[in-house]
């Protein structure tokens, strides 16, 4: 805020002395970002954003972090946004710079993460001629952005910046693209304050009243239910509605299962929490879904990894209710009987004024018995280091208070199972798209957004290699992320599915040629440690926690270890393979 106040003071002085000051589009862009309260932009320069980068010179109020790959930049912006609730910002040049952002844009779009993505483009005079490093990034990203702008008139830029942040950060949040041709970034314009946002056809749901009648109907249905259940998804976190959900559960006595992205949105320590649901969810959670007579989805989109085979999903549910900010999600995958469309925080705040306890004591006792009789289990070992033990140890030694980012694969599911999240925005992971390479750079963004918090990046040996070059960023800036590599020398989740579904016909999953991760970290100037048994694991992890700055810890684990429970695609939530707990 000090930087923003300094900037506003300078702007006020400027407006008094120079009513007709001329600035470039690049200068207007940086001023607009500062006016939106942007703390850091993650990016990578190139020819068609040179005017923008030139405007950063001598501008101490503007903070930019140079990553080592555009994908690292957008994942870092994503991690910043998820962990802070603010809009993340990244920048790249035209052509390959812009297309290197596509995976990150899709990752944010699938998980409703607010980003403003700024790309350069070739000058307007050569657009459409296949000029050097030209790519129609607006068309390329049309299906995976909430909105897009191609800036052809520099005078439109202040309005566009303000609109982009408004669109990205309201309603169902998502990425907004601003594509700026090189000549536009150097055009001159009068310095002026951007207008108030007024977008025809778009009004943030937070600013609109919602229909209370379906909420009244839901409360009535709860009173008639004997086996009610809440599925809490990532929408609870995005809406900052965790406290309202806790109050709702305490008033209604309804058990809660969470999706992967919903972890932390309802505290794992709460007695009414049953665990994660879906393909690798707990026995108690999946059985609760299958036996509930009233199912209430709050900010969950009934993803296929949660529902599994739709015609076998929640067969005993007499009514299904859905609370969501996006009306397009209502009834999209699962038939909805009670549709509550609106901002989740506002809907739950109203529901809490009329909520009453459900008659769920017997139902809750059954779920508690399932939790006790069918807990998460694994075959521990005194000679080998099991990955589940590593996650339990990390949780224990951090007391569940860290911000944890993950990559995608077995380690992601073990994190969801064995690290207990009690606060919202403390799990940062790619849910909908399942993007390998996301975990480590997203931790950099989360750490910059939360400098006083412990940030842990948990990765597999496959995903770690996809953005390992960002180790340089941690070393140069001493960003104190604690980097975990669960090394089983194999593409673990693919191997597991080939073993179980394809009769152990293993095809191209061997990662035995991976680098020595300790030496790789040291080559970048980051401290590296390794552990292959329990004693080494505890010593190494404690050393990592005690060391200022970034540390990479490689945990060597067996390649044959599987994630259980597991449900095979095409089967139902009743068809859990319990594995070691069978």
| Catalytic residue list | 70, 132-133, 182, 493
Q: 228 forms bridges with which residues in the sheet?
A: 294
Q: Which residues pair with 321 in a beta bridge?
A: 296, 338
Kindly state the DSSP code that residue 386 receives in the 8-state scheme: -
Contact (CB, 8 A) for 65 and 88: no
- Structure token digits, residue 391: 């996650």
d(CA 106, CA 117): 12
- Give the integer Cα–Cα distance in Å for 360 and 230: 13
Question: Residue 329 has what DSSP assignment?
Answer: G
Cβ–Cβ contacts within 10 Å for residue 501, how many?
13
The helix-helix angle for 439-449 and 70-84 (nearest 10°) equals 50
Do 32 and 41 meet the contact criterion of CB atoms below 8 Å apart? no
The conformational region for residue 104 under phi > 0 = left, psi -120 to 50 = alpha, else beta, is: alpha
Rounded CA-CA distance 146/532 in Å is 45
CA atoms within 13 A on the CB side of 28: 28
Q: What is the dihedral of CA 9, 10, 14, 16, to 10 degrees?
A: 20
Contacts 24+ apart (CB under 8 A), 534-539: 534/382, 534/385, 534/389, 536/385, 537/385, 537/389, 537/390, 537/393, 538/393, 538/397
Which residues are CB-neighbours of 180 under 8 A, at least 6 positions away? 25, 29, 49, 52, 118, 119, 120, 121, 151, 157
Q: Is the peptide bond before 582 cis (omega within 30 degrees of 0)?
A: no
DSSP single-letter state for residue 328: G
Phi-psi region of 400 (alpha: psi -120 to 50; beta: other; left: phi over 0): left
**CA–CA dist 244, 266 (Å, integer):** 10
| Dist. CA 476–CA 226, nearest whole Å | 58
Cis peptide before 136 (omega within 30 of 0): no
Spatial CA neighbour of 59 closest among 86, 91, 26, 90? 26
Structure-token pair, residue 407: 């990559």
Task: Compute CA distances 285 → 9, 279, 491, whole Å.
Answer: 54, 11, 27
């Amino acid at each position: 805020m000090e930087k923003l106040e300094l900037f506003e003071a300078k702007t006020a002085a400027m407006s008094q002395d120079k009513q007709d000051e001329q600035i470039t589009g690049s200068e207007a862009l940086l001023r607009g970002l500062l006016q939106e309260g942007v703390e850091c932009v993650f990016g990578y320069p190139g020819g068609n954003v040179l005017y923008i980068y030139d405007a950063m010179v001598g501008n101490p109020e503007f903070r930019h972090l140079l990553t080592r790959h555009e994908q690292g930049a957008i994942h870092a912006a994503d991690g910043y946004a998820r962990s802070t609730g603010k809009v993340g910002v990244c920048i790249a040049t035209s052509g390959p710079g812009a297309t290197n952002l596509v995976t990150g844009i899709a990752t944010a779009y699938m998980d409703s993460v607010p980003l403003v993505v700024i790309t350069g483009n070739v000058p307007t005079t050569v657009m459409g001629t296949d000029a050097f490093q030209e790519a129609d990034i607006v068309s390329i990203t049309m299906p995976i952005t909430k909105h897009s702008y191609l800036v052809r008139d520099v005078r439109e830029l202040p309005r566009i910046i303000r609109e982009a942040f408004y669109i990205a950060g309201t309603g169902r949040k998502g990425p907004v693209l601003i594509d700026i041709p090189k000549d536009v970034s150097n055009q001159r314009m009068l310095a002026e304050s951007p207008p108030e946002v007024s977008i025809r056809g778009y009004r943030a749901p937070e600013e609109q009243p919602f229909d209370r009648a379906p909420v009244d109907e839901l409360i009535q249905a709860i009173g008639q239910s004997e086996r009610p259940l809440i599925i809490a998804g990532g929408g609870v976190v995005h809406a900052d509605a965790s406290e309202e959900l806790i109050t709702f559960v305490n008033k209604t006595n309804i058990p809660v299962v969470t999706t992967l992205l919903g972890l932390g949105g309802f505290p794992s320590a709460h007695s009414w929490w049953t665990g994660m649901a879906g393909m690798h969810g707990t026995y108690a959670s999946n059985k609760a879904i299958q036996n509930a007579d009233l199912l209430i989805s709050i900010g969950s989109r009934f993803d296929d990894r949660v529902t599994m085979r739709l015609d076998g999903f929640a067969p005993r549910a007499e009514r299904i209710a859905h609370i969501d900010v996006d009306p397009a999600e209502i009834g999209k995958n699962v038939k909805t009987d009670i549709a509550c469309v609106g901002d989740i925080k506002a809907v739950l705040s109203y529901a809490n004024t009329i909520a009453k306890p459900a008659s769920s004591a017997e139902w809750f006792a059954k779920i508690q018995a399932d939790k006790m009789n069918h807990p998460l289990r694994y075959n521990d070992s005194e000679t080998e280091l099991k990955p589940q033990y590593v996650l339990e140890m990390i949780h224990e030694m951090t007391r569940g208070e860290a911000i944890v980012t993950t990559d995608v694969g077995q380690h992601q599911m073990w994190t969801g199972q064995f690290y207990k999240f009690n606060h919202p925005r403390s799990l940062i992971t790619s849910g909908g798209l399942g993007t390998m390479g996301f975990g480590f750079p997203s931790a950099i963004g989360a750490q910059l957004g939360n400098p006083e918090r412990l940030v842990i990046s948990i990765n597999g040996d496959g995903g770690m290699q996809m953005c390992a070059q960002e180790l340089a960023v941690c070393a140069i800036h001493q960003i104190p992320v604690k980097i975990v590599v669960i090394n089983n020398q194999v593409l673990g989740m693919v191997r597991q599915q080939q073993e179980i579904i394809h009769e152990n016909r293993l095809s191209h999953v061997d990662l035995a040629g991976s680098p020595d991760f300790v030496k790789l970290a040291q080559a970048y100037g980051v401290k590296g440690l390794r552990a292959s048994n329990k004693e080494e694991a505890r010593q190494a992890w404690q050393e990592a926690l005690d060391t200022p700055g970034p540390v990479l810890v490689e945990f060597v684990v067996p390649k044959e270890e599987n994630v259980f429970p597991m449900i095979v695609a095409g089967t139902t939530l009743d068809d859990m393979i319990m594995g070691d707990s069978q």
